[in-house]
Amino acid sequence: MKRYEQVADELRRRIEQGVYRVGDRLPSVRALCREFGVSISTVQEAYRRLEDTALVESRPRSGFFVLPRQTLAQLPAPTRPAQRPLDVSQWDQVLELVGVPGDDDRLMLGRGIPDLEAPTLKPLQRLLTGLHRRGDVYGHNYDRLAGSLELRRQVARLATASGCLMPPDDILITTGCQEALAIAIRGLGKPGDVVAVDSPSFYGTLQILKANGLKALEIPTDPQTGISLEALELALEQWPICAIQVTPTCNNPLGYTMPEAKKRDLVRLAQRFDVAIIEDDIYGDLAYRLPRPRTLKAFDDDGRVLLCSSFSKTLSPGLRVGWIAPGRYRDRVTHMKYVSTGASATLPQLAVAAFVERGHYERHLREVTRQYQNHRNTMLGWIKRWFPAGTAVSYPEGGFLLWLEMPAGIDCVDLNTRLSGARIRIAPGSLFSASGKYRDCLRLNYAAGLTPEVARAVRTVGETLTAMLAEDRALQSMS
Ligand SMILES: Cc1ncc(COP(=O)(O)O)c(C=O)c1O
């Protein structure tokens, strides 16, 4: 963490603990320089960060003051998707997002990519280089179909933090979480079957349903506590649902973590209706608070939860290292893994296993979760300052994605077209629905450095939305 971030963090902590109260004048820049042994510019930068998050304000010639507790923008409303199974659409839109190469010159504010420049990732680069240099044939051979034993041991060890005790033999390494989800769905469903999903839902899973001829039944979801169990129960009574697919921890795109009691109730509900649960935990290790939240799998006593995850959001999406713990569906899922890609690439598995084994993973998580939490606050401050009144925003407790719901009259697919001149792209909400709902919503990423360029881009998005809203209001008043 940079020095100014440490100073800002400490001041934020004191404000949150009531050491400085609303309206209080904060210590002068000089006093903080003395206290922390840092330069004037470091303290000024720390104060600038706190201003960005609307926690303090500077008053000319008077200093810095604590603002009333940030009245955060309202949260998005609980969702109300169509109450029937649907064929999934939106592939063209999804391709526009995922078909763009990593070095595209547009600023991709909507993609789900972590901070790849984090200094705590350097040992991973060294491990990869070392493995390539080793020059023996081991990395060129197939590893076991289930994946490297070293890596499965490390995944099993990490899983204890989320309340799961599973031996390495219960884990299959996959080519990213996307493959884990795909083989889970293909192992459980056949064309025409129905899968219940939280809504909005990760577009990758929806597209797996589409590709395999399955239907999505989108279930109303609360932006703070997740899928509605009442609505899910009604759906289970009414439709022949073959699986429930949810992302209950640090959800993408809404950012919530389902409370533990509700997680337990969800597993019990699935038991009552004898349905499998496909749990996507890809962002779970990025929870801002320790210990990290427990998974649904932690409450699964009869093997019906298929836990899917990867290192794509914590370390590197390019390594394509994921896994699945398929519980009682192991045989079917192993067959699907074989026909999907056979064994996954060997060298990335060895590098990640060594990275975790030497303690680099936990160190890296400690740093990036602090960074992402700070970035979330900064981004919320920017949105408050630059986005139209009436914008509702999620409040993620983990990960690095924000979900915004715009006032009526905004279409975020059009927003992307308008932003193309400025070389900026966001992820429109319609990607996250089987039917293209949520066009009034968008997803933003705050993982990497919030540089002046990113600030300018976020401001451009806000100003473009304000202009679109004004045009819409003018049209309304004419009609
Ligand atoms: C919720 C969720 N699940 C799965 C995936 C796919 O992950 P991977 O890149 O490891 O295949 C993503 C990637 O964006 C995601 O956000």
The response to whether residue 249 sits with its C-beta less than 6 Å from ligand 1 reads: no
CB 52 within 8 A of CB 6: no
Nearest atom in ligand 1 to 180's CA: 11
Distance CA 152, CA 295 (A): 18
How many angstroms separate the CA atoms of 184 and 26, rounded?
54
Distance CA 326, CA 182 (A): 12
Q: Which of 163, 377, 160, 398 is nearest to 289 (CA)?
A: 398
Whole-number Å distance between alpha carbons of 473 and 465: 12
Other C-beta atoms closer than 10 Å to the C-beta of 408 total: 9
Peptide bond into 123 cis (omega under 30): no
323 lines ligand 1 (CB under 6 A): no
For residue 405, the CA-to-ligand 1 centroid distance in Å is 22
Residue 106 CA to residue 190 CA, distance in Å, equals 39
pTM: 0.87
52 CA from centroid of ligand 1 (Å): 30
Looking at the DSSP assignment, which residues form a beta bridge with residue 243? 195, 276
Q: What is the pLDDT of residue 343?
A: 94
Residue to mutate (ligand 1; options 252, 307, 321, 443; most atoms within 8 A of CB) = 252
Asked if 392 and 75 touch (Cβ cutoff 8 Å), the reply is yes
- The residue contributing the CA closest to ligand 1 atom 13 is 112
CA 34 vs CA 28, 29, 38, 43, 134: distances in Å: 10, 9, 7, 10, 50
Residue type at position 172: L
Question: Could you give the CA distance from residue 194 to residue 214 in angstroms, rounded to a whole number?
Answer: 6
Ligand 1 atom with minimal separation from the 181 CA: 4
Helix (H, G, I), strand (E, B) or coil at 84: coil
Residue 73: its pLDDT value, please? 66
Nearest to 394 by CA among 283, 309, 297: 283
If you average pLDDT over every residue of the chain, what do you get?
93
pLDDT of residue 439: 96
Mean pLDDT by 10 residues, the chain (479 residues): 87 85 91 95 89 77 78 81 93 87 83 95 95 77 93 98 96 98 97 97 97 97 96 97 98 96 97 98 94 97 98 97 98 97 95 98 96 92 93 94 95 95 94 95 95 95 96 86
Amino acid in position 27 = P
Q: Is the Cβ atom of 201 under 6 angstroms away from ligand 1? A: no
- Separation CA 270–CA 232 (nearest Å): 10
Task: Please state whether beta strands 427-428 and 56-59 pair in parallel, antiparallel, or not at all (unpaired).
Answer: unpaired
